Amino acid sequence: MRVSKNAYYHWFKAKDLTLITSSKIYLKERIKVIFEQSREIYGSCRIQKMLEREDLIYSRSYVGFLMKEMGLKSVLKRKFVLTTNSKHTFKIANNELNRNFSSIKLGEKWVSDITYIRVGNDWNYLTTIMDLADRKIVGWTLSDDMTTENTVMKAWCSAREQRDLSDDFIFHSDRGVQYASNKMTNLFSFNRKVKQSMSRKGNCWDNAVAESFFKTIKYEWLNRFKFYSYSQLYESLQNYITWYNTKRLHSSLGYLSPLEMEIKLKGIIKKAA
């Protein structure tokens, strides 16, 4: 072809460099899209897992390097305070869950908790119920008071509309007065499937998964905004929880979303039947 060796290798290296540059540009584009779709929440680890789903296999460190180049940084974390009113005279249930947070059966183990969220100069209260099998928030409610009716009872009714209970069902919470109240214990006593469980005194690790969700939602979402009304906060919570249940990757689920894990578990049950 009357081309010298030097000219050929110069062309070959330039072509290879063009391919590498093009590949890097495309990878950066995908990283940016995934980052924005995650509401600027995902760090290099979850972005790497999302890239793997597109058959883009790169190390976490390289993804982190590119994110740094692009000025992409996951939202900063802040501290928050959880408060539980356990100074009451109601009967305390045994710790039936005993930190066994694993489950492969939907409707077998639910954990619940209540947290405070600042709204203007006041507080609103978020109550959630999570199924440990797929880590889905199966029930939640936002209230402007701490009554049992507007916190745990409403969240429970919401959860029961979403999912059935297994025969060996455990409902776990801390020792808060809302969970120990006669209204809730009487409600549970009507259903033989329900076995109520409570954390040991002063031991937050007994309800670690429920508290971990509050840490996540506050770090990733709520601490980024100021809320001035109940309706504004409710809409924001609904937005995040819907995304959390359907899209957010969980390391505890092998980087599946709760929805993907739910579908997987239902598929296993169907095959077994």
pLDDT for position 82: 47
Q: Which of 51-55, 79-83, 168-172 has the lowest mean pLDDT?
A: 79-83
DSSP string of 48-81?
A: HHHHHTTT----HHHHHHHHHHHT--PPPP----
CA dist., res. 257 & res. 241, Å (int): 12
- Span 200-228, mean pLDDT? 91
Q: Which of 66-70, 74-78, 104-108, 142-146 has the lowest mean pLDDT?
A: 74-78
- Residue 250 in contact with residue 130, Cβ under 8 Å? no
DSSP string of 15-35?
A: HHHHHHHHHHHHHHHHHHHHH
- Residue 198 in contact with residue 174, Cβ under 8 Å? yes
Per-residue pLDDT at 21 exceeds 90:
no
| Helix-helix angle 230-246:208-220, to 10 degrees | 110
What is the helix (H) or strand (E) element at residue 118, kind and residue range? strand 109-119
- Residue 107 in contact with residue 93, Cβ under 8 Å? no
Amino acid at 73: K
- Span 220-238, mean pLDDT? 96
Would you call 139 helix, strand, or coil by DSSP?
strand
pLDDT for position 3: 62
How many helices (H) and strands (E) are present in the chain, helices listed first?
9, 5
- Residue 48 in contact with residue 58, Cβ under 8 Å? yes
- The count of residues in the chain is 273
- Span 149-166, mean pLDDT? 96
Look at the block and give the residue holding tokens 């819907």. 242
**DSSP, res 192:** T
- Span 205-231, mean pLDDT? 94
**DSSP, res 127:** E
Q: How confident is the model at residue 13 (pLDDT cuts 50, 70, 90)?
A: low
Q: How confident is the model at residue 216 (pLDDT cuts 50, 70, 90)?
A: very high
Q: Mind listing the pLDDT tens digit for each residue in 22-67?
A: 788 888 999 999 999 998 889 999 999 999 999 888 899 989 999 9
Q: Which residue has the higher pLDDT, 164 or 83?
A: 164
List phi, psi (to 5°) of 102. Answer: -90, 145
pLDDT for position 39: 85
Per-residue pLDDT at 83 exceeds 60:
no
